[in-house]
Amino acid sequence: MIRKGKTGLYPVIMAGGSGTRFWPLSRHLFPKQLLKIGGDRTLIQQTMQRVCGCAPSSQVLISTNAAQAELIRVQLADWKHDLTQGFVLEPEGRNTAPAIALAALEVLRRDPEGLMLVVPADHVVTGQRDFQSAVSLAVQLAEQGYLVTFGIKPIRPETGYGYIKPNGRAILGKQGKLKGYRVQQFVEKPNAAKAAQYLKAGNYYWNSGMFVWRAATILDEIRRHQPELGKVADRIGALKAAGASQTTIDDIYRQALSVSIDNGVMELSSKAAVVPVTFRWSDVGSWGSLDEVAKKDKSGNVMTGRVVDLESARSIVYADQRVVATIGLQDMVVVDTPDATLVCPKSRAQDVKKIVEVLKRQKAPEHLEHLTVFRPWGSYTILEEGPGFKVKRVTVNPGGRLSLQLHHKRSEHWVVIAGTARVTRGGDVFDLQVGQSTAIPVETQHRLENPGQETLHIIEVQNGPYLGEDDIVRFKDDYGRNVDLPGARREA
C-alpha cells in the first residue's frame, strides 16, 4: 500500500455510469462495471482489487446512485462486509465534476489533508505493480498542489479518447528523477487525421480519466473555475456539518451545473500535471474495444457463449443463452440476449449509444434493465406479462431473504419449484416444500426467505391493475436499503 507521510489516500471509484455503448449486455440499471470483461471478476471488482493495493478498503469510497448501490454492495462484499459507510450517493447524475466535489467533501470530513485517487469503475488495467508505482508518483505531485492525471502512450490513432499534450517542463524529484510534466493542453476527441498526427508527433498521451489530488485542492479549483458549483459544494458542506436532512442536501445537489471534471476544471487549471504510465489500459468503451482485452481465436474472433461459427474473421459474437450461428462474418459485432439482439459492423460500435437513446425516447424497458434482475438476496426473471398479470421466476440465495413488505395494487401467488421457502404472511410464519404454494393477498405484510443450503426457486404470479416494482412498502430489510420512504423507488 502507498503511504506518504501521515497523509491518507482515499480511492474514489466513479460507478454511476450506464455504459450505453455496451448495450444490450449493459443496461441503465445493470451497467458495464457490473459485467465480467477481461477477467473472471467484474470490472468494478477488478477496480476495487486494484485500488486496495494503494489504500485500505476502509478508505475506498464508491460514487454512484441509489439504483446501482445495491448490486455494487453485493459485488464488493469480499472487500467490505458493510459498505453502507463507503458510498457517496448522488440523488441524480450531474456529471463528474459535481460527483467529485461531493466525494471531496466526504474525504475532507474524514481527513482535512486527505488525498483522492479518482478512478472509473469500468476500465481494464493490466499491471498492478506499475499501477501502484504510478499512483505513488502522482501522490508526491498532489502533495505539492498539482492536479495529476495519468497519461497513456498512444498505440494507434484513436478518435474515441481525449489527448494530453505536456508542455515539456519536467517535474523532477530527488536525484533528478522524473515524476511527471506540467500539462500544456487537453485536446478533445480528434478526427482521424488529427489522431494520426498526434500519434506521429510522439509527445501526446491518451487521457485515462484517472486522477490524484488533495481533496482541498480540487475543491479550491472548482470554486475558481466553476464558481456556481463551488457555491453548491460549500452549501452542502455547511448543511452536512449542521446535521441537515439528506432530502435537503439532495435538493441542493440537484441545483449543481452538469459539467465534467475535464472540461470544467482540468482544461482550465494551471495546476494540471500528467504522469506517463507503463501499465496497459483500456476504457472498454464499446464492443469493438474487446479486441484489446479479450482472448481471440486464430481468425481474430472473440467468441463467447454458445456460438457456432463457420469461417468468420475479426468479429465479436456474444451468445447469452440461445445458440448463435454465424457464417463468414468480417469485422462484425453480434450480441444476443434474451430480450434484445445487436448486429453492427465493428466500425460502427461507438454508435450503439444512439440505439439506446432511441429506446429511451420510446420508453422501451430494454434500455433500463434485463429480463433477469439481480438483487442482494438473489434474482428474478420475467417470464411473461400482459394486462393485469406478470409471471416471474424468483431465486433466493441460501440464507437470503427479501424485505418485509406489502403491495397496495397487486396480489401474489408463489409455487416452490426447488429448495425450501420460509414464508411470512401477516402474523403467520411457515415453510413450503417443492410443489407447495401459497397466496399473498393485497395489503398483506409478507416476506420470502431461504433457510436451506441450496438456492430457492419459486414461480411468482402477480395479479392486479398495477404491477410496477415501485408498488412496495418496505418495513424491514437486511441490506441497508431505505425502509418505508413514501415516494421512493423501492425494489424487493
* Distance, CA of 306 to CA of 318 (rounded, Å): 8
Burial class (CB in 10 A: 0-12, 13-18, 19+), 1: exposed
Q: Could you give the domains of the chain?
A: 9-282 (3.90.550.10), 287-355 (no CATH), 372-476 (2.60.120.10)
Q: Give the Å distances, CA to CA, from 441 to 409, 424, 426, 446, 490.
A: 10, 12, 10, 9, 20
Inform me whether the pLDDT recorded for 6 exceeds 80. no
Q: What is the pTM of this model?
A: 0.83
Phi, psi of 421 (to 5 degrees): -110, 130
pLDDT per position as a tens digit, 358-368: 999 998 988 88
* Distance, CA of 60 to CA of 231 (rounded, Å): 26
Inform me whether the pLDDT recorded for 262 exceeds 50. yes
pLDDT per position as a tens digit, 91-118: 988 899 999 999 999 999 999 999 999 9
Q: Give the Å distances, CA to CA, from 473 to 109, 153, 485.
A: 34, 52, 8
pLDDT per position as a tens digit, 272-300: 999 999 899 988 888 988 888 888 999 99
- Please tell me the predicted confidence (pLDDT) of residue 487: 41
Which residues are CB-neighbours of 375 under 8 A, at least 6 positions away?
Answer: 70, 71, 402, 491, 492
- Please tell me the predicted confidence (pLDDT) of residue 369: 83
pLDDT per position as a tens digit, 160-179: 888 999 987 777 666 557 78
Inform me whether the pLDDT recorded for 484 exceeds 80. no
Closest CA to 279 of 45, 160, 123: 123
pLDDT per position as a tens digit, 198-244: 899 888 999 999 999 999 999 999 999 999 999 999 999 999 999 99
- Please tell me the predicted confidence (pLDDT) of residue 180: 87
- Strands (DSSP E) contained in 232-388 are 272-277, 280-282, 302-304, 307-310, 316-319, 324-327, 332-336, 341-345, 372-375, 378-386
Q: Which residue has the cell 431465486?
A: 395
* Distance, CA of 286 to CA of 159 (rounded, Å): 13
Q: Give the Å distances, CA to CA, from 183 to 149, 164, 172, 180, 210.
A: 9, 7, 14, 9, 15
- Please tell me the predicted confidence (pLDDT) of residue 314: 95
Q: Give the Å distances, CA to CA, from 429 to 424, 461, 473.
A: 4, 20, 19
Q: Give the Å distances, CA to CA, from 427 to 231, 406, 414, 424, 447.
A: 51, 13, 18, 7, 11
Per DSSP, the three-state class of 35 is coil
Inform me whether the pLDDT recorded for 139 exceeds 50. yes
* Distance, CA of 295 to CA of 257 (rounded, Å): 42
Beta-bridge partner residues of 411? 463
Average pLDDT, the chain: 90
Inform me whether the pLDDT recorded for 380 exceeds 90. yes
Burial class (CB in 10 A: 0-12, 13-18, 19+), 304: middle
pLDDT per position as a tens digit, 142-152: 999 999 999 99
For residue 99, how many other CB atoms are within 10 A of its CB?
26
DSSP code of 390?
E
Secondary structure in 3-state letters for 210-266: EEEEEHHHHHHHHHHHCHHHHHHHHHHHHHHHCCCCHHHHHHHHCCCCCCCHHHHHH
pLDDT per position as a tens digit, 431-474: 999 999 999 999 999 999 999 999 999 999 999 999 988 899 99
* Distance, CA of 310 to CA of 329 (rounded, Å): 9
